[in-house]
């Protein structure tokens, strides 16, 4: 009888565990732009509060689920409302617990790089995410990948993989009429420059344009347009 009771207890524990995993995997922002409930929110603080991820969800997110919530974040373009991309992203980190969580993790770089490699000039090639406002979403992904906390969590092989992909994206953009302006190219360039800085690359440290490059890395915006990547 004791064995039967033990088996029943273990069975229910298994079901509860599976339910918790499933809840985390399918969790989505309950209120977001485009919903009627979103339009009923009256203040900016209410809109910020609506996009917080429950702490119990954050605490148990797998690396893939963390990347999923990052890519599907409803207000991913908020960084454009500020003077520079980095200033905007810093505000997003201050406002939303998801980004503080992402920057504290050491295991999401691989998933972010995989998503970046799947990103083409018109949308994700295979990943089942929305491609609405695509150029902005690509900039957002590149902005996240250029954060020092993310780059420092990467292995040397991952840094090289990301550097190679960012360089490829740069040339794809300048040869694509949908990504023909300086702004589009800047986000790819910043990933490369940020990796070189994290690695204290000697040529970068000794560059006569060191101050301009540092300002570019810190702000995400380049005032001097004469820094092409060949």
pLDDT tens figures, 10-49: 333 333 344 443 444 478 999 999 999 999 999 999 999 9
Domain assignment present for residue 126? The answer is yes
Which pLDDT does position 27 carry in this prediction?
A: 87
Residue 122 near residue 166 (C-beta atoms within 8 A): no
Residue 91 CA to residue 39 CA, distance in Å, equals 22
Domain assignment present for residue 1? The answer is no
The residue with tokens 């998933």 is 111
Which pLDDT does position 180 carry in this prediction?
A: 64
Domain assignment present for residue 184? The answer is yes
Domain assignment present for residue 96? The answer is yes
Q: How long, in residues, is the chain?
A: 230
Which pLDDT does position 114 carry in this prediction?
A: 98
% the chain with pLDDT above 70 = 84
Which pLDDT does position 103 carry in this prediction?
A: 98
Residue 186 near residue 168 (C-beta atoms within 8 A): no
Indicate the average pLDDT of the chain: 86
Q: Which helix (H) or strand (E) holds 18?
A: helix 2-26
Which pLDDT does position 227 carry in this prediction?
A: 52
Domain assignment present for residue 48? The answer is no
29 to 23, 32, 38, 39, 92: CA distances (angstroms): 13, 6, 11, 15, 16
Domain assignment present for residue 42? The answer is no
Domain that holds residue 80: 61-219
Question: How many domains in the chain?
Answer: 1
Query: Average pLDDT in the 153-163 region?
Result: 97
Half-sphere exposure of 158 (CA within 13 A, CB side): 17
pLDDT exceeds 90 at position 91:
yes
Domain assignment present for residue 25? The answer is no
Residues whose CB is less than 8 angstroms from the CB of residue 161 and which lie 6 or more positions away in sequence, other chains included? 113
pLDDT exceeds 60 at position 230:
no
Domain assignment present for residue 201? The answer is yes
Global confidence as pTM? 0.84
Residue 148 CA to residue 53 CA, distance in Å, equals 23
pLDDT tens digits for 42-81? 999 999 999 999 999 999 999 999 999 999 999 999 999 9
Q: Which two tokens stand for residue 29?
A: 């922002």
pLDDT tens digits for 183-203? 778 899 999 999 999 998 888
Residue 57 near residue 68 (C-beta atoms within 8 A): no
pLDDT confidence bin for 206, thresholds 50/70/90: confident
């Amino acid at each position: 009888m004791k064995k039967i009771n033990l088996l029943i207890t273990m069975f229910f524990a298994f079901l509860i565990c599976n339910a918790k995993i499933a809840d985390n995997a399918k969790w989505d922002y309950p209120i977001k732009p485009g919903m009627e409930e979103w339009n009923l929110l009256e203040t900016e603080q209410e809109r910020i509060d609506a996009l917080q991820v429950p702490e119990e969800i954050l605490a148990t997110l797998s690396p893939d689920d963390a990347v999923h919530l990052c890519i599907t974040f409803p207000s991913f373009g908020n960084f454009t409302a500020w003077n520079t991309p980095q200033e905007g992203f810093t505000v997003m980190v201050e406002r939303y617990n998801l980004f503080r969580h992402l920057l504290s993790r050491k295991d999401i770089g691989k998933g972010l790089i995989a998503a970046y490699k799947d990103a083409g000039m018109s949308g994700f090639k295979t990943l089942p995410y929305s491609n609405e406002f695509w150029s902005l979403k690509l900039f957002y992904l590149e902005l996240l990948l250029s954060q020092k906390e993310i780059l420092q969590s990467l292995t040397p092989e991952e840094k090289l993989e990301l550097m190679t992909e960012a360089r490829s994206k740069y040339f794809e953009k300048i040869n694509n009429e949908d990504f023909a302006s300086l702004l589009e190219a800047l986000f790819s360039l910043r990933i490369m420059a940020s990796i070189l800085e994290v690695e204290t690359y000697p040529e970068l440290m000794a560059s006569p344009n060191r101050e301009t490059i540092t300002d570019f890395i810190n702000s995400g915006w380049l005032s001097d347009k004469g820094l092409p990547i060949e």
